[in-house]
Homo-oligomer: A and B are copies of this chain.
Amino acid sequence: MQSSDRLDLTFAALADPTRRAILARLSGGAASVGELAEPFDISLPAVTKHLKVLQRAGLISQGREAQWRPCRLEARPMREAVEWMESYRRHWEQRFDRLDEYLRETTKTSRRPPRKKK
């Protein structure tokens, strides 16, 4: 899978409060589907559906143990997503810092001249 497709799946998987809560719960350790479903007021099939989305994104994996198939977090997709965000965040936060500085400097003088038409 392309890194861009992986990011699509990761971010789409994170765009849901139940799925984020499941990931938060799993960050404390592996858990069965039943344990994961417990705090939510939704059906087990609904939880299973959310788990499938997380699994497709590679954010969790499920064990093959017959009785207790524990779900576990997988760190890699999250790491890639944070790296994508961080690379730009650093860039634009620097820009905002510079902009702040610029605005402080120029507030008392004059407004920016309008952009020239090409």
Contact = CB atoms under 8 A, between A and B. Distances in A.
How many protomers of this protein does the assembly include? 2
Interface of A: 4, 7-12, 14-17, 20, 23-24, 26-29, 65, 67-68, 73, 75, 78-79, 81-82, 84-86, 88-89, 91-93, 95-96, 114-115, 117
Interface of A is mostly: helix
Given A11-B12, A91-B27, A92-B27, A78 B85 contact: yes
Given A11-B15, A68-B115, A78-B92, 14 more contacts: A7-B15, A7-B20, A8-B17, A23-B88, A24-B88, A27-B95, A28-B91, A75-B93, A78-B88, A78-B89, A79-B89, A79-B93, A82-B86, A85-B85
Contacts of A24: 88
